[in-house]
Amino acid sequence: MKTLSNLKGAVLFLVLAISFASCEKSEIEQENSETTIQQEEGFKSRTGNNDTEIDNFTAEKPIFHMTYKGDLTEEEANAQFKVDADRFIENYKRSHRGVSTEWFYRIVTHTGTQTNNNTNANVWGRVTFQTDKGYKNAGWVKLDNFGNDREKGDWDYYIFRTEYPGQAVSWVEAECASLALQGKDGWFVTHFYAQVYSSIQSISATGYSRIIAQPNVWLDNSTSSGWDYYTNCSDVGRLNF
């Protein structure tokens, strides 16, 4: 009987020991998980441009914007945007007379699909152009959306209008494009395009000019007011009017 009692006691002690060890392991795993999340959400920029000041507070909003979820491939998102943009431009031309001083350009971004790649921070873009009339800095434009911006895997497409006031333009080339994020809610951007092409113009045009980049970089800051930015100047082609 005494042996049986000893055996029961040993079994009970073993069960309690396993239970305590399991709880301790669970707590450690939770702590490690929280630490990992904090590390993932920590400062990640490697651009060398973080915490920059941007003085232009009159950034324009897009005249057209569409978001396509990450379950679409780039080819599928492009095809859907063409349908949506063609419809928009046709309606736009009904109420706006096309002029030879203006042109329209498209900015495209793609957000990474990994943990914390998405952001709700302010994001702006800027494109500079060369034309037959000279250099044109289109200025900063807002890439901020209503609701949740740039969720994981999202494709975001924007159309903007710019012009060379008082000068009829014969051709346009996209020269450089920049993408900027404000604050500490870091964003991993995989694709960044700036494009001018014929089908989104308000008057007859041929050809295209584009900057196609796959940055695969984190935009992030150590302050809530600072800006981090990425720039690419690998332009190709010319849009002719």
> Same domain for 127 and 224?
yes
Residue 106 in tokens: 């498209």
Q: Is residue 77 part of a domain?
A: yes
* Domain limits for position 157: 64-240
> Same domain for 85 and 3?
no
> Same domain for 32 and 75?
no
> Same domain for 95 and 172?
yes
Q: Tell which wins on pLDDT, 144 or 12.
A: 144
Q: Is residue 9 part of a domain?
A: yes
Q: Is residue 52 part of a domain?
A: no
One-letter amino acid identity for 49?
N
Q: Tell me: the pLDDT tens digits for 200-214?
A: 999 999 999 999 999
> Same domain for 14 and 93?
no
> Same domain for 97 and 192?
yes
3-class secondary-structure state, position 186:
coil
Average pLDDT, the chain: 86
- In whole angstroms, what is the distance from residue 132 CA to residue 129 CA? 10
Band of residue 144 on the pLDDT scale cut at 50, 70, 90: confident
What mean pLDDT is predicted for residues 168-179? Answer: 98
Q: Is the pLDDT at 181 greater than 60, yes or no?
A: yes
- CA nearest neighbour of 107 among 42, 167, 27, 191: 191
- In whole angstroms, what is the distance from residue 50 CA to residue 43 CA? 10
Residue-level pLDDT at 56: 66
> Same domain for 19 and 128?
no
Residue-level pLDDT at 74: 97
What mean pLDDT is predicted for residues 146-167? Answer: 90
Taking only Cα atoms into account, the Rg of the chain, rounded to an integer number of angstroms, comes to 26
> Same domain for 146 and 219?
yes
- Cα 135 to Cα 23, 130, 168, 171, 232: the distances in Å are 66, 5, 14, 12, 17
Q: Tell me: the pLDDT tens digits for 19-38?
A: 544 544 444 444 443 333 33
Alpha-carbon 213 to chain mean position: 12
Q: Which residues contact 172 (CB under 8 A, 6 or more apart)?
A: 103, 129, 130, 131, 196, 209, 238, 239, 241
> Same domain for 70 and 11?
no
> Same domain for 28 and 142?
no
Q: Is residue 45 part of a domain?
A: no
Q: Is residue 173 part of a domain?
A: yes
> Same domain for 82 and 173?
yes
Q: Tell me: the pLDDT tens digits for 86-112?
A: 999 999 999 999 999 999 999 999 999
The count of domains in the chain is 2
Q: Is residue 51 part of a domain?
A: no
Band of residue 226 on the pLDDT scale cut at 50, 70, 90: very high
Cβ atoms of residues 216 and 190 within 8 Å = yes
Angle at 113 between CA 107 and CA 115, to 5 degrees: 125
CATH number at residue 169: 2.60.60.20
Q: Is residue 58 part of a domain?
A: no
- Stated pTM of the model: 0.82
Q: Is residue 90 part of a domain?
A: yes
> Same domain for 33 and 70?
no
